Every structure is written in structure tokens, then in C-alpha cells.
Amino acid sequence: MKIKGGAVVEIQGDEMTRIIWDLIKEKLILPFVDLDIHFFDLGIQNRDATNDQVTVDCAYAIMQHNVGIKCATITPDEQRVSEFGLKQMWRSPNGTIRNILGGTVFREAIICRNVPRLVPGWSKSIVIGRHAFGDQYKATDFVVPGPGKLEIKWTPDVPDQAPIQHQVFHFTNPGVALAMYNTDASIKDFAHSSFRLALDKKWPLYL
């Protein structure tokens, strides 16, 4: 008799994680738990075929069902673009999902009594929280072809506000440039979720 579970968004990944996850699922989960599984293939070829729409659809499915299990995925660089014949250098699927969810990433060790710990006296986990909205995940970057000025500008939607413009750097030879951002609302959400986790676990919180 199986345990009745709820809805779960299953997110397939790339390379060996596809094989490992299938083994885990077939041997350790499906024989014992009856789940309503919503499947999304985030393998690099399928992301390319759907122009990364599958990643967006996956994120909204997680919002709807509240639980997602994701395998590791490839964030392509120039070499991967050439290797897989991709249309473009797609952004990190983790970043896309987190930006849609507006989530905070908490990394916590899974402690099992039958798995020896490297530090036997270490009985309490250290949970690392990371603000995972905006910043490098939504950055705009480009290759600077030659000498010239790199400027950054904010243009207000409200006409009675003055625009803000700064010269970032004056290139004398080729280079690279990157622009990032974040929002007050997202920063407050990160702080709130960090405080809430610390209170739920009754653990101290450090910045």
C-alpha cells in the first residue's frame, strides 16, 4: 500500500542527473508514494527548442503546486552553445525560476543517522541563505569592442523627476561590461524569509 501524496512538479535536468534522478524515483519514491506529478524537461535541448518557455512554465507550475523537485541543469557558456548547437546562450534556469518565484535559496545539510559525518561532534546544521533575485541572474552583459565610455542611466517614468546618469568607466581598449539591479521589495522579502526561517527553527541568525 502506497502513501498518498500531493502534487509535485518534477523538473528533469541534464546529463548524468537525468539517469540518477530516474533511479532514485523508480527505486525509492514511486514504489512507496502515490504522487500527482507534473513533469517538465529542462534539459538544455528542450530549453533551446522551446526558446526557454519551458523554464517559465515550470516556475509558474511551482507557484501553483508549491513543491518542485529539480535536477541539476546546464547553464551554457560559449563552448556549450557550440557543442549543442544552441540558438543563443540561455540564462541560468535556476535564476529564471527564482526570479519568477521571488524566492530565497536556503542550503541545509540533510543529516542521516546511518551516514557518518566528517565532523562527528557537529550535531547542528548551518543553513546558508542567499538572496536569489536580480543581481547576476538578471544582469545585462556585453563585450566592449574598443575604446569608449561606459555609462549607466536611470530614466524615470514620472516626468517631474530628473534622470540619473553616471559614467562608469572610460575604456582605452576592449573589455567586458556588466549591469545589475535589485529592488527594495525583493530585499525586504529576503530579510523577512530569513527571519521567519530562524524563528521557525529557533536558531540564531547571522548576517
Cell numbers given for 87 = 540558438
Question: In 3-state terms, what secondary structure has residue 101?
Answer: helix
Give the total residue count for the chain. Answer: 207
55-114 pLDDT per residue, tens: 999 999 999 999 999 999 999 999 999 999 999 999 889 888 988 887 778 888 777 778
29 CB-near residues (< 8 Å, 6+ apart): 35
Compute the Cα dihedral for 12, 15, 17, 20 and give only its sign.
Answer: positive
Rounded to whole angstroms, how far apart are CA atoms 72 and 79?
A: 18
Q: How many CB atoms lie within 10 A of CB 25?
A: 15
Query: Containing H/E element for 44?
Result: helix 44-49
Contacts 24+ apart (CB under 8 A), 188-193: 189/102, 189/104, 189/133, 190/104, 190/129, 190/131, 190/133, 193/103, 193/104, 193/129
Between CA 49 and CA 122 the distance in angstroms is 46
Place 122 in a pLDDT band, splitting at 50, 70 and 90: confident
Is pTM beyond 0.85? Reply is: no
**Taking the domains of the chain in order of start, what are their residue ranges?**
1-101
Q: Give the tens place of pLDDT for each residue, 12-33.
A: 999 999 999 999 999 999 999 9
Residue 169 sits at the vertex; the CA angle it makes with 143 and 185, to the nearest 5 degrees, is: 85
pLDDT interval class at 44 (50, 70, 90): very high
What is the mean pLDDT of the segment spanning 164-185?
96
